[in-house]
Structure 1
Amino acid sequence: MADNTTTAASLLAEIPSESLQSLLATVRRESVSAGSTFIPALDAHLSSINSRRTTHDWSLNQGDVLEVQGPAASGKTHLLYHMLVICLMPRSYNGKELGGWGKAAVFFDTDGRLSISRLYTLLLSRMRRLIGPDGVNDSSVPLEDVAAQRLENLHIFRPTSSLQLAITLLHLPKYHASNPRLQDKEIGLLAIDSLSAFYWRDRYTLEQLRDAADASTQSVPPNPLYHALKALQRFRTSHRPVILLANWGLNALAKPSATGEPASPFYRQHLYPFPAPFESHGADEAMQNIENSQRRSTSVDARSDTSTGRAQRGTETTLPLHYHITLQPSPVDPFPASYSLADAISQEHMRAALVKKGEVRGLIRTPGDNSASEFTFRIGDDEVLVQPGEET
């Protein structure tokens, strides 16, 4: 009898299982768009790629992962702010279509620099522009109150290490299910600013662990970031938010050559084991991650003690990267060496105008595709300006 019971349990354990949450998330991803970015050139690139790879021509799929990389002061945080505004903004207001996602958002402020007042200003200004003065005046509810209410759908976490980030991500489904302000809402966007915040600390920790490890075992402990990426992939599988990850640009792919060739606008991937689809050592693995992520995930928890379960855990899908965005502030050319002080002073106002314009240039690439598309946006006093004709 014991043998029969064991055999039956073993057979049942071999049957693939999937949670209802994961099943519904997969169905939503295949039938509903996550939304657009409101940046025309960026949406055009996303739609073009999507139409070639799927039957849909919308820009963002639920569960898409986008990396935003660039040097300091390149506009990474403001691009994340813009996407938070689009996610939180209602679909309509007083009968006026706004095009917002009308969803909740989760923001991991690992850099500790999130400005709620700035985000409120950007959201309020964007809604005012879309509604117009007549629509604002006709409403019985002040637009300021509407913007404040939408910010209640933003949930902020401030982990201080990669392991804290991983633990918070692992507990995020429980938080979603139990928090009264969130449990009846869909999480449309999960953003981390930035994934590089603990880079130097993690490198030091890993070196210390390697030095302390028994040389005879030759075991190398995983990078702390590994746990955060695995937890992020688990939440992506179950809830399918759009995931936006800011990352530092530390090392250019190519430096200026002696023959005058310019430096590459792109950067090497310094985070490990984060996907590196545009470098020779990581291209195949990154594409495999994307292909695996497109297959319907199955739970291995029920088979954790079986050989199948152990094998599947060993090959569990890691976080895919669907798009990579590189940001650069629009350059201001230096004065020629032949310029006199008077020449420089005479052109100072024009250069100041370029700086004040706050234009940021973005390049978006897709793993497995050789093309890159350019888009721009401008960081204004009260808005992130994304349309060509928008003015402050």
Structure 2
Amino acid sequence: MESAVKDWIKADETAKEMLTRLFTERPFLPLPPPLHKLPLRPGNVVEVAGPPSSGKTHILMQAAISCILPKQWKGVQFGGMERLAVFVDLDCRFDVLRFSRLLKHKLIQANSNDMKSQTQYDKELFAECMRRFLYIRCYNSLEFLATLKTMNKQLQKQKDIQGVGVHLLVLDSIGAFYWMDRALPSLLVGGSNRKSLSLQIVMENVVQDLQKLLLVHPLLVLATKNSISGDKSTADELMRNTSSGPRPKHREYMPSVWQSFVTHRIHVAASEHNGNHQRQHTYLTEWILPSVNFSDRFVINEDGVFLIS
């Protein structure tokens, strides 16, 4: 009896082995600015909130490019994750030509030491990266739910084909169907015995399906959301208020089930003062969840996202 109890409580692995396994399966992801300040890993759900034209989609594109780029290729270091990235386009504004242009620019930039490669890129590598980029477009909440219901099989199929798993799931933008779902009356799906299709039910199912995906696939969820300010302050005023004490007043409109699902939240906004970067728009970031006492200022161009002082 005593030996049976000892066998039952005997550890399967040491603490060192457990940490090694966890950091191998769910490592910290090398994300580009401004997502690099906090250690993010698969299993986290990051919400990038901000008003329209604040660089949210560009940040997601750069994160997806970092995911699909290889660690190295033919002796050239790219520093990518070499994993699959899934981009779910919910507002139907994704520009694939812009994405491919950004990817080509990254490939050219990595070979910048070679004079012949300053305007050329490896087409084989470009095709390899694009195969790891999975794009899905949804026009309403029903299509979004259907996509999530079938995503597990699709990801497993792609993993078997390409030999690598997914590390990044992008949702752009999570609140795209909010106003449509809120305006429509509750619909009974499948007869009177089924639940009515309402905004709350839709978001509950979205969160449940995402939770199931996170259990099976070690991926990071990045979701954009258009924010609504609680007052008429400018972005610079909001950031000044943040540094001096009070947090920006954002009017939260997503259901509470989504709010509790998010583990990290960052707010981005365009700045009215470009400083020495007159030809480029300057943007401000502030981590809301977790609450940290620093903010970043950055610019966006073809080379990526760059922090400025």
TM range (shorter): 0.7 to 0.9
Q: Which residue of 2 aligns with 1:155?
A: 134
Q: Deviations over 1:103-122 (max 9, x none)?
A: 11111011111111111111
Q: Which residue of 1 aligns with 2:148?
A: 169
1:329 equivalent to 2:275? Answer no
Q: Deviations over 1:258-294 (max 9, x none)?
A: xx99876452221113444xxxxxxxxx3xxxxxxxx
> Which of 183, 206, 214 is matched with 1:228 structurally?
206
CA distance in 2, matches of 1:388, 1:94: 33
1:268 equivalent to 2:246? Answer no
> CA shift at 1:255, angstroms?
5.0
1:189 equivalent to 2:168? Answer yes
Q: CA 1:220–1:64 in 2, change beyond 3 Å: closer, same or farther?
A: closer
Q: Which residue of 1 aligns with 2:298?
A: 377
SS at the partner of 2:113? Answer: helix
CA distance in 1, matches of 2:197, 2:142: 17
1:245 equivalent to 2:189? Answer no
Q: TM-score, normalised by structure 1?
A: 0.61
Checking the alignment, whether the CA contact within 8 Å between 1:327 and 1:361 is kept in structure 2 is yes
CA distance in 2, matches of 1:99, 1:135: 21
Instruction: Give runs of aligned pairs for residues 248-327 of structure 1, distance below 5 A.
Output: 248-252=226-230, 254-255=231-232, 265-276=248-259, 286=260, 320-327=261-268
The residue type equivalent to 2:60 in the other structure is L
The residue type equivalent to 1:154 in the other structure is F
Q: CA 1:99–1:220 in 2, change beyond 3 Å: closer, same or farther?
A: closer
CA distance in 2, matches of 1:122, 1:165: 27
CA distance in 1, matches of 2:85, 2:113: 28
Instruction: Give runs of aligned pairs for residues 335-350 of structure 1, distance below 5 A.
Output: none
CA distance in 1, matches of 2:166, 2:106: 21
Q: Deviations over 1:141-177 (max 9, x none)?
A: 9424422320111111112222321221121111122
Q: Which residue of 2 aligns with 1:35?
A: 29
The residue type equivalent to 1:270 in the other structure is Y
What RMSD in Å do the two structures reach over aligned CA positions? Answer: 3.4
> CA shift at 1:203, angstroms?
0.5
SS at the partner of 1:118? Answer: helix
The residue type equivalent to 2:105 in the other structure is S
> CA shift at 1:223, angstroms?
3.3
Q: Which residue of 2 aligns with 1:97?
A: 77
Q: CA 1:108–1:173 in 2, change beyond 3 Å: closer, same or farther?
A: same
Structure 1 unmatched ranges of 5 or more: 1-23, 47-58, 277-285, 287-319, 334-349
Checking the alignment, whether the CA contact within 8 Å between 1:42 and 1:374 is kept in structure 2 is no
The residue type equivalent to 1:204 in the other structure is A
The residue type equivalent to 1:272 in the other structure is P
Q: Which residue of 2 aligns with 1:118?
A: 98
> CA shift at 1:78, angstroms?
0.4
SS at the partner of 1:63? Answer: coil
Q: Deviations over 1:284-340 (max 9, x none)?
A: xx3xxxxxxxxxxxxxxxxxxxxxxxxxxxxxxxxx32210100012149xxxxxxx
Q: Which residue of 2 aligns with 1:310?
A: none
SS at the partner of 1:35? Answer: coil
Checking the alignment, whether the CA contact within 8 Å between 1:191 and 1:243 is kept in structure 2 is yes
> CA shift at 1:92, angstroms?
1.0
CA distance in 1, matches of 2:295, 2:59: 15
Which one has the largest radius of gyration? 1
CA distance in 2, matches of 1:241, 1:250: 28
1:75 equivalent to 2:39? Answer no
Q: CA 1:177–1:37 in 2, change beyond 3 Å: closer, same or farther?
A: closer
Q: CA 1:159–1:145 in 2, change beyond 3 Å: closer, same or farther?
A: same
1:128 equivalent to 2:111? Answer no
Q: CA 1:199–1:377 in 2, change beyond 3 Å: closer, same or farther?
A: same
Q: CA 1:372–1:161 in 2, change beyond 3 Å: closer, same or farther?
A: farther
Checking the alignment, whether the CA contact within 8 Å between 1:65 and 1:242 is kept in structure 2 is yes
Q: Which residue of 1 aligns with 2:44?
A: 64
State the percentage of identical aligned residues: 23
The residue type equivalent to 2:201 in the other structure is N
Checking the alignment, whether the CA contact within 8 Å between 2:26 and 2:41 is kept in structure 1 is yes
Q: Deviations over 1:37-66 (max 9, x none)?
A: 132x642x31xxxxxxxxxxxx22121110
